[in-house]
Amino acid sequence: MEQRMDRRQLEIFPLSERVSYADIRKIAVFPDSEIPEISERETKQIDAAAEKIVRARAAGKPVILAYGAHLIKNGLGPVIAALLDAGWITHVATNGAGSIHDWEFAYQAVSSEDVRVNVAKGQFGTWDETGRNIGLSIAINGLDGYGYGLSIGKAIAEDGLMIPSRTELKDRINTLLSQNLPGETLGALADALHLVTEFDLPSGRMEVSYPFKEYSVQYAAYKKGVPFTVHPGIGYDIIYTHPMGMGGPIGRGAVRDFLSYAQSVSELGGGGVHLSVGSAIMAPMIFEKSLSMANNLAIKNTGKPLEDYYLAVVDIQDGGNWDWSHGEPPKDNPAYYLRFCKSFNRMGGLLDYVCLDNRQFMVGLCRTLMGK
């Protein structure tokens, strides 16, 4: 067997020692925050998206918001929370970094570090509180069937976790074995037992204060009862430098989240809306697999695939003013090189690409919807 690095040998540093560059108390964006003026073309696109969302919600159809981490790093958590609270967004999806920055803002109000400097020092991502609390939240709340995202949202909402004892975990494992009930729960219990034993965790209430939770989308989604799904790549995020970043709980939580997202996608037909904001890789990749699964079931049950759904893609890459309702652009148009748009365009539905800063789009959309 090949040799593998032992993370227990790493020096893990207190998060308080990190120089963080983003302070949510200074950068937070709210529905009434000032934003640069939006051009007439983009204003019309925002109005069109808002109208699609209004129709979707009136018809009981989902409105999915998928986004990359920069949306959180740009301080837009309070805007998403307002949309969730008003019922305009029914599902939130992000990548691992989007979840991590959101957690750090809730925990200490600051996030983001100098990657170049800290990699050279062997300190990039090696922060105890982030890796420890995210890893434990996913593993412990996963015992109750929660996925990756809402496990973290629950921990933030409750300011901590209830750590089961080794005896309790062993008893539950033995009960399942005696009843010949292998499966997800057995795996989750075994992973939790490993964590509790390996790190000698005391049972009972583990207090973790989140004084800035009002900035957290994960908290807002959990409080509202809206799915918040995280779609990570193993090794992509800083939590994998921490020995508590276990593959079992993370993978289990991520698969649960993917299936939750796929369920929401399966309900898009007949007027649903999917918004992809600043996610050139994660959003189109999980959407195409989920839509294929949804069409598989739809054809099996009704004889035809999903129809009539709206896809809005928001980014700042030059789109060449191409109208995607006309199909893919020619090679001499800058829009031809928007790979994420081509991926979404091949998914059917009505696609619109909005070339706009995510703060302008999200605030503009929120204000338009609140006005309706």
Instruction: Say what the pLDDT of residue 243 is.
Output: 96
Nearest to 127 by CA among 105, 98, 104, 148: 104
Cα radius of gyration rounded to whole Å, the chain: 21
Cβ atoms 82, 223 nearer than 8 A: no
Fold category of 7-25+39-164+203-371 in CATH: Rossmann fold (3.40.50)
Domain ranges within the chain, ordered by starting residue: 7-25+39-164+203-371
Nearest to 324 by CA among 315, 335, 316: 335
Mean pLDDT by 10 residues, the chain (372 residues): 94 97 98 95 96 98 98 98 98 98 98 97 97 98 98 98 98 94 91 97 98 98 98 96 97 98 98 97 97 98 97 92 87 89 92 96 97 80
Nearest to 195 by CA among 143, 151, 147: 143
Q: What is the DSSP letter of 199?
A: T
Quickly tell me which residue has 């957290």 as its tokens.
216
Cβ atoms 93, 46 nearer than 8 A: no
What the block records as the tokens of 338 is 């928007």
Integer Cα distance of 207 and 151 in angstroms = 15
Beta bridge partners of 229: 93
What the block records as the tokens of 107 is 């925990």
Phi, psi of 256 (to 5 degrees): -60, -45
* Interstrand relation of 204-207 and 160-163 (parallel, antiparallel or unpaired): antiparallel
Instruction: Say what the pLDDT of residue 327 is.
Output: 85
Integer Cα distance of 344 and 184 in angstroms = 33
Interior angle at CA 75, CA 366 and CA 97, nearest 5: 110
Integer Cα distance of 192 and 336 in angstroms = 48
Nearest to 11 by CA among 240, 237, 243, 235: 243
Beta bridge partners of 93: 66, 229
Integer Cα distance of 316 and 10 in angstroms = 38
Integer Cα distance of 268 and 70 in angstroms = 26
Q: What is the DSSP letter of 254?
A: H
Integer Cα distance of 138 and 102 in angstroms = 15
Nearest to 199 by CA among 236, 156, 246: 246
What the block records as the tokens of 219 is 């908290």
Instruction: Say what the pLDDT of residue 183 is.
Output: 84
Integer Cα distance of 300 and 277 in angstroms = 32
Please give the distance of CA 346 from its chain centroid, rounded to a whole number. Answer: 23
Where would I find the H helices in the chain? Answer: 24-27, 40-58, 69-73, 77-85, 96-108, 115-120, 128-141, 148-157, 166-178, 184-198, 217-224, 247-266, 282-302, 339-345, 358-371
Instruction: Say what the pLDDT of residue 169 is.
Output: 98
Cβ atoms 369, 83 nearer than 8 A: yes
SS3 call for 114: coil
